[in-house]
Structures are given as C-alpha cells and as structure tokens.
Amino acid sequence: MEITELTVHELQEKLKKQEITITEIVGAYAKRIEEKEPEVQSFVTTLIEEAKKQAKEIEEKVKSGEITSDFAGIPIGIKDNLCTKGVRTTCSSRMLENFVAPYDATVVEKLNQENMIDLGKLNMDEFAMGGSTEYSYFKKTKNPWNLSKVPGGSSGGSAAAVAAGLVPWALGSDTGGSIRQPASFCGVVGLKPTYGLVSRYGLVAFASSLDQVGPITKDVRDSAMLLNLIAGHDEKDTTSAKREKIDYTKCLTQDIKGLKIGVPKEFFGEGINPEVKASLEKAIETYRLLGAEIREFSLDIANYSLAAYYIIACAEASSNLGRFDGIRYGYRTPEFSDLKELYKKSRSEGFGPEVKRRIMLGTYVLSSGYYDAYYKKAQQVRTLVMNEFNQGYNQFDVILTPTSPTVAFTIGSKSNNPLEMYLSDICTVSVNVAGLPAISIPCGVDKEGMPIGMQLIGNKFQEETILKAAYAYEQQVNFREQYKPQFKS
C-alpha cells in the first residue's frame, strides 16, 4: 500500500517499526500533491518546501530523543478559516486574500505542540457559507471520486484532500454540517464535536453559537486520535467547556450489544434519494446483526430546524462580518471619495454573492420591527429542537440518519439556486442548533460509484458513544478496502 493511502495510526506503526521515515512520509505527500492537486484543487496555500525542511529537523530531534510525541512529523491539512501564524488565512475570500494571521488558533497551537507538519491551508466556501465549495473566491474544489461533482462544503477542500490522499487527515469547521456533509460526499469520516468541547479561539467566526472545529479523517480511529489532541478547555474561548480529559481511542471496541439506536422516520421520507435510503437500511441491518437494538421513532424537527438555523446563522454572520469594513485589515477598495463610499465599495468588492446574501438576510432579521418576529422566534424554536432531542435520548443512546439526502451533485447544478442548496443541509443543521456531537461515516456507494454517508448523533459530550458505534460498523463493512476514489471526469 502506498504511503499516502495509509491512515495516521498505520503511519505511526510503520514509524515505530522504522519501516519508513518522517522525510519519506512528507516526500510522498509532496509528490502526491504535485500529481493530483491540479485535478482536485483542494489547497488555497501549499507549504511543501517548508514541510520538507520541517520534516528533516523533526527527524533529527526524534533520533536524538529531543522530541518524543507519537505525532511528531505526521502531516496535516488545515481549513483556511483557522488562523496560522505567519501563513495566509483567507477564508477563501477576496476580503482576506492577503491576510497573514499574527497568531495561531488554539487547535493549531495544540498540533504544533505535537510537532505535526502543516502541508497547507485548504479551500472552502467563502467564510464557510455554502455546501459545495463553489463559493470560494480562488477556485472550485473537485470531488476525487468524480471530478465533475462537488466535494460538499464548506469544508470541501479538507474532505477532498483527505479522500484524494493529499493529506492523511485534516481539520474542518462545522456550522450546519460543513464537516459531515463533505465527508459524506467524499467517502471519508467527519466528526462534529459537542459545542464547547473544542476551542474556537482563532477560528474566523461565521455563526458563533453554531461553529465548531472538528476532524476529517480516513477512518474512525484517526478521528478519535485527532479529537484527543484538539479537545479541551481553553481560557481564551468563553464558550469552552471544562471537562475531564478523555482518551477517545479507548472506546473503540466492536462490542455494541444492547446499544439503543433510534431511527427518526422523518429523515427517511420525502426527498431522500432511493439509493441513499437503501444503503442506510442495509447499515441498520448490520447494526442489528452486531446486537444493537433498533427502533423507529418520531423526531419532528426537520420541518422547522432548517428555517431556525438559517435565521440564527445569518443573523450571527451579519454581526460577525461587520468587522470587515476596509479600515483595519482585509480588502480595501482602491478608489473612494468619502468614508461611506469606502465602506460600501470595500464590502461590495470584497465579499462574494453568497456572503452578501446571508449578511443582508441576517441584517434584516435583526432590524427593528423584525427582531421579535424572526430572530427571537428562531431562538425559541432552538429550545424546542433541544427539548425534542432530549426526549429522544431518554430512549436511545444514538440517533441514526442519512448525512445528506443525496450523493454529491454536479458542479454548477445548484449554485444558481440557493434555496435548493440550503435544503441539502436538512439532515445536519439540527445537530448544530442543539449543540450535539455527530459523526458521518461512509456506508456504501450509488450506481455511479459515489459515496453515501450515514450520520450518528449522540447526546451532549457523548462522543465516546458515537465513536464506538461508528467504529463497530466500520470494522464490519471495511468501506476503504472495497472502494477507492476514481478521479474520473
């Protein structure tokens, strides 16, 4: 097996046995990026030469015993809305095209402490607003399974890079499904942790009460390992939860006998692709064979959580993006006659169409006379969504749904119809509204060979439960051994 096909835990095993070296690992990824990145277009900024230099330095320090971390020299890709000191952080926007972060995000700091190697910043929908990575200012990322399809979004660059073997794993961010949906479309594993488990310090904010950083990996064990590294309280993030440190790899066993899995019938009704439904039903049967207790129930939130999500997310985006005004940092229009024109032209030229659409919608729902009718009402609905999930967890350990009602769609097929694009988030947004953890794992392919994702949702801070359920299924079906990205056009 090629180095770039190995999971991180497989790379670690080979490093321990001295079958490969850190410089060989980084060299293999550099070569893979050179070969496949022109097709996939997943990076905004590559750091290949820096990574090679770092690999040599770390290798020497490991040999001398100066560095002892198990993750020393392991490469990673970082979504381009996480601040990286001395490296461009663009959020795939013209507004921040030349912004070089003066500090590291807390999660990046934690990776640096382990002496991991950043291969570059990964493409995304501008300011994380979108579900296809078509709204990037720089490029449209392609799906490695079929280059005419989208990789999903907004963490499409992260998911595509992992699927294509350009990075062994990556960090993404998830506001309404932006880790899980691209993971589903690209046939990889995407984990959205409980709100507050992972620090948001240094994550460029889209919607502060919904955003969460999480891993995109080749398998469930890698997800648990990366979560171990990034989870934990951070004094620089006031929403960060104080929790006892957990080793998430310890829950990875195949024994799930008696695990109670709830299947909400609303997520399997109208609008779901028949092949997606068939794959999910097959996965449910696999869980039955593994000894899990499966029962259908009603989770009547799909009808209103999507609307509540878009009101809350757009309102918070309008507020957060107010700082990009052409004055302090970011894009500034070259020609203006007064301050008002400076603001207007800088924001008009610096932001793309989807960001403008959400800012305008958010400003509207926060405006005098509409605040109570929309934003306040959406926050009340949010409480109902939380309550409904709580009732579900009185009966079940895990809730199982599709990650997306469809497989990856063709590039350009939905970008001119924003409402249709928003509806593709229907299976994922309620998780963010309620602040819950959820994981997407591949559970099959359709007749065209495109991956299908299954979502497992847990109660707050029950990452161990969903990781255990995901791992048991993954070990049973061996998706990675059966299917590989085709890079066909």
Helix axes 220-230, 463-477, angle to 10 degrees: 160
Q: Which of 93, 132, 173, 178 is catalytic?
A: 178
Q: Is 79 a catalytic residue?
A: yes
- What tokens does 164 get? 């294509």
Q: Which of 36, 79, 110, 121 is catalytic?
A: 79
Give the H or E element holding residue 119.
strand 117-122
Q: Which of 132, 136, 154, 318 is catalytic?
A: 154
Phi/psi of residue 263, each to 5°?
-115, 105
Return the SS3 of 276: helix
Cα dihedral across residues 308, 310, 313, 318: positive or negative: negative
* Residue (of 127, 42, 79, 41) closest to 353 by Cα position: 127
Q: Using CA atoms in the order 266, 158, 156, 92, what is the torsion angle rounded to 10 degrees?
A: 130
In order, the DSSP letters of 308-358 are HHHHHHHHHHHHHGGG-SSSSSS---S--SSHHHHHHHHHHHHS-HHHHHH
Give the H or E element holding residue 399.
strand 398-402
Q: Is 132 a catalytic residue?
A: no
Give the H or E element holding residue 77.
strand 75-79
Question: Would you give the distance in Å from CA 336 to the centre of its chain?
Answer: 38
Q: Is 440 a catalytic residue?
A: no
**Rg of the Cα trace of the chain?**
21
- What tokens does 276 get? 């997606």
Rounded CA gap, 394 and 310, in Å?
A: 28
Q: Could you say which DSSP state residue 267 is in? A: G
Helix axes 106-113, 220-230, angle to 10 degrees: 100
Contacts 24+ apart (CB under 8 A), 64-71: 67/115, 69/113, 69/114, 69/115, 70/12, 70/114, 71/8, 71/12, 71/111, 71/114, 71/115, 71/116, 71/229
Active site residues: 79, 154, 178
